[in-house]
Structure 1
Amino acid sequence: MGLMCAIEYGSEERAAILALARQGVCQSVMTGSVALPDVEQMAPFLQPQRASFVTLESIGRLRGCIGSLEPVRPLGHDILHNACGAALHDYRFQVLEAAEPIRISVSILSPLQEMQFTSEEDLLCQLEPGKDGVLLQSGRCRSTFLPVVWTSLSQPEVFMKELKLKAGLPADYWSERVRVWRYRSESFAEAVERPACE
């Protein structure tokens, strides 16, 4: 499978994915962990190994975001695992409380595709704003931005500078050791904020 170019999940599948993510968030908040069901008992579209991100917003601001960049478990398990992580283990935020209003969004990722470039300028010319998710790595420093980040960082130069800062690198950093992968994602979200556990 290459980069996504079309919608893969229908409205019923999206609703089921969002409901599963909310179940994972609530169970994690209430019990401190999440139970992973038998793969055979999950809907067929949740059984293939896929990478996903679960993002929480509260009062219109980021409240947690945890994800996987490579497919290492069935999609249903990955969503539950990342829902728990977003609620309890995002180091940038306090543990989520049951009464906090949240809006959940889920992104399903295509496989990573390593990019080939001769310079940072060449890399910037190849990026497709609004479409590409980007993973940057240099040595032990690593960070990613989902495609949705282009809505707030629309210029490739600014996008890449912020990605480097997120990785703990200087904004003007460049090295022959830099490796970059791109990917696409299909993202969808709940309509409104609701308490984490109702």
Structure 2
Amino acid sequence: MERTVLNKQQKYSQDQQDQLLKIACDSLQNGVKNGKALRIDTTEFDNSLIENRATFVTLHKEHANNKELRGCIGSLIAHQPLVIDVAENAYSAGFRDPRFPALTNDELEVLEVHISILTPPELMSFTSRDDLLEQIRPNVDGLILSDGFSRGTFLPSVWEQLPGQEEFLQNLLMKAGLPHDYWSNSIKMERYETICFGNGYSNLKEQNI
């Protein structure tokens, strides 16, 4: 299949968003029952849903009126059809995120499922840490930091927890396994944007989408 590039202005209809969320939920359910991701027949979907896209699937669980992260796995580079990427990343978020145990059937009903569709990463050019901080756009940019064997990424949604550029960068450095105040001229930074949407697992099942 010919690779296509996601336009930053591209939108997905509510019906298409619901289809993708249902795929994610069905893949989680299939993981609980059968121990593997949902198998997808791409001939059943519109062309826009089978173009190559990079996605992240993030799971949150309601607990004592709070939302707790329950898994987040994704792809930074588009390499397969959108519907397949969502199915595989949803399964991986539920069962392969090393920070959490495998998802159980009892947890499904209290999950919130969020999908982020990424634009292609763009390499940033900067001359210093301060220059980089000035270029970072809060609530817009997702960042990929790499230096040697160290690598980490934050989705734009992380700005909700880390609203300042300095705080965002410090935590990204630590996620990459580096000190929070680390700096080197060999650091490479790429940025991307996302189209995001989500819903509760139980809501999607009740709607019978």
Give the TM-score of the pair, scaled to structure 2: 0.88
- Shift in Å at residue 89 of structure 1? 0.2
In the alignment, which residue of structure 1 is the partner of 2:166? 157
CA contact (8 A) 1:113 1:181 kept: yes
Where does the alignment leave 5 or more consecutive residues of structure 2 unmatched? none
The partner residue of 1:138 within 129, 144, 147 is: 147
Decide whether aligned partners of structure 1 residues 165 and 148 sit closer, same or farther in structure 2, where only a CA change above 3 A counts: same
State how 1:81-100 maps to structure 2 within 5 Å. Answer: 81-100=88-107
In the alignment, which residue of structure 1 is the partner of 2:12? 9
CA contact (8 A) 2:117 2:196 kept: yes
CA contact (8 A) 2:26 2:38 kept: no
Decide whether aligned partners of structure 1 residues 7 and 49 sit closer, same or farther in structure 2, where only a CA change above 3 A counts: closer
Decide whether aligned partners of structure 1 residues 3 and 42 sit closer, same or farther in structure 2, where only a CA change above 3 A counts: closer
- Shift in Å at residue 194 of structure 1? 3.2
State how 1:46-65 maps to structure 2 within 5 Å. Answer: 46-59=49-62, 60-65=67-72
Counterpart of 2:106 in 1: which secondary structure? coil
* In 2: Cα distance, 1:123 partner to 1:82 partner: 30
* In 1: Cα distance, 2:203 partner to 2:101 partner: 16
1:79 corresponds to 2:86: yes
How big is the alpha-carbon RMSD for the aligned residues of Structure 1 and Structure 2? 1.9
Where does the alignment leave 5 or more consecutive residues of structure 1 unmatched? none
State how 1:165-176 maps to structure 2 within 5 Å. Answer: 165-176=174-185
1:34-82, CA deviations, whole angstroms, 9 ceiling, x for partnerless residues?
Answer: 2432323333222100000001100111000000000011101100010
Decide whether aligned partners of structure 1 residues 151 and 3 sit closer, same or farther in structure 2, where only a CA change above 3 A counts: farther
Count of residue pairs the alignment pairs up: 196
